[in-house]
Amino acid sequence: MIELAHATWTEVAAYLASRPRVAVLPFGALEQHGPHLPLSTDTLQADAVARRLAENLDAALLPPVAYGNTWSNDAMAGTVSIGADTVTALCTDIAASLDRAGYALLVVVNGDYGNRLPLHRAAEHAAAAGQRMPVVVLDYPGLTEIGDAVKESPWAAPGLCHADELETSMVLAVAPALVHPDRYEASYPELPADFGLRQMPLAPLSASGVFGDPRPATAEKGERILAHVAAESERIVRQVLAGVEGA
């Protein structure tokens, strides 16, 4: 693995002369995650998965994007959101630059629900423009399966994890000093029937910003979650690489 933020241009040039010439971009957010987790939770998690993936693939790891489309949490202090079009434009421009540099594939590790459509739109733009280098967006593949395996608490909604046992476990695994166990509280809001089917603000649903129960969280569970998601991500990327010319 080569970490671009810490590398020199000559080191990157040497990497690009080899293979597989894969770039991995963690895309996070700065948004509330209850009273016990840092605003950088999504970025920390995306970076942790991306780092494991880059190591397994001998890929180039890009610095994480720390802002995302998180308007649904705007009502809570500390959340800083950028628009969906900005997310798409930023990813599109980064992809175009990496394509010109000679990378064979860009893998975007998405850490926030609000980024999903904008990032997939960027991948579509790259393909529609005839860009040589494809863009693959990964939304934590395998998370639901490993969540079912490790969780001791119920889901707040199918597949929903926000400041709950899963997210708290992952942050405990990568940045335990930023977690405040003395502030743990469970929250299982009554969700509207169309929750997850349309965009909606979250503050009216959960006063604490928590959806689930963080209390059973452990660093060991966090390591299992991150390892599983990274392994599933690697499996997908290797399938893509098999069909990418020059990879």
pLDDT category, 247, cuts 50, 70, 90? Answer: low
- Which pLDDT score, from 0 to 100, does residue 45 have? 99
Which pTM value belongs to this model?
0.96
- Which pLDDT score, from 0 to 100, does residue 198 have? 83
Architecture in CATH of 21-239? 3-Layer(aba) Sandwich (3.40)
pLDDT category, 108, cuts 50, 70, 90? Answer: very high
Lowest mean pLDDT among 10-14, 41-45, 53-57, 157-161: 157-161
User: For the chain, what is the mean pLDDT?
Assistant: 96
Taking the chain, what is the end-to-end CA distance rounded to the nearest angstrom? Answer: 15
pLDDT category, 139, cuts 50, 70, 90? Answer: very high
How far is residue 140's CA from residue 107's CA, in Å, rounded to a whole number?
12
What region does 181 belong to: left with phi over 0, alpha with psi -120 to 50, or beta?
Answer: alpha
Q: Please give the helix or strand (H or E) that residue 87 lies within, else none.
A: helix 84-101
Helix pair 41-57, 219-241: axis angle to 10 deg: 50
List pLDDT tens digits, range 145-200.
999 999 999 999 888 899 999 999 999 999 999 999 999 999 999 999 888 888 88
List pLDDT tens digits, range 201-215.
988 999 999 999 999
DSSP 8-state secondary structure symbol assigned to residue 63: P
pLDDT at 236 over 70: yes
How far is residue 166's CA from residue 33's CA, in Å, rounded to a whole number?
12
Burial class of residue 127 in the structure, from the number of CB atoms within 10 Å of its CB (0-12 exposed, 13-18 middle, 19+ buried): exposed
pLDDT at 223 over 70: yes
- Which pLDDT score, from 0 to 100, does residue 148 have? 96
Burial call 57-87: b when 16+ CB within 10 Å, e when fewer = bebbbbebbbbbbbbbbeebeebebbebeeb
Q: Where do the domains of the chain lie?
A: 21-239
- Which pLDDT score, from 0 to 100, does residue 99 have? 97
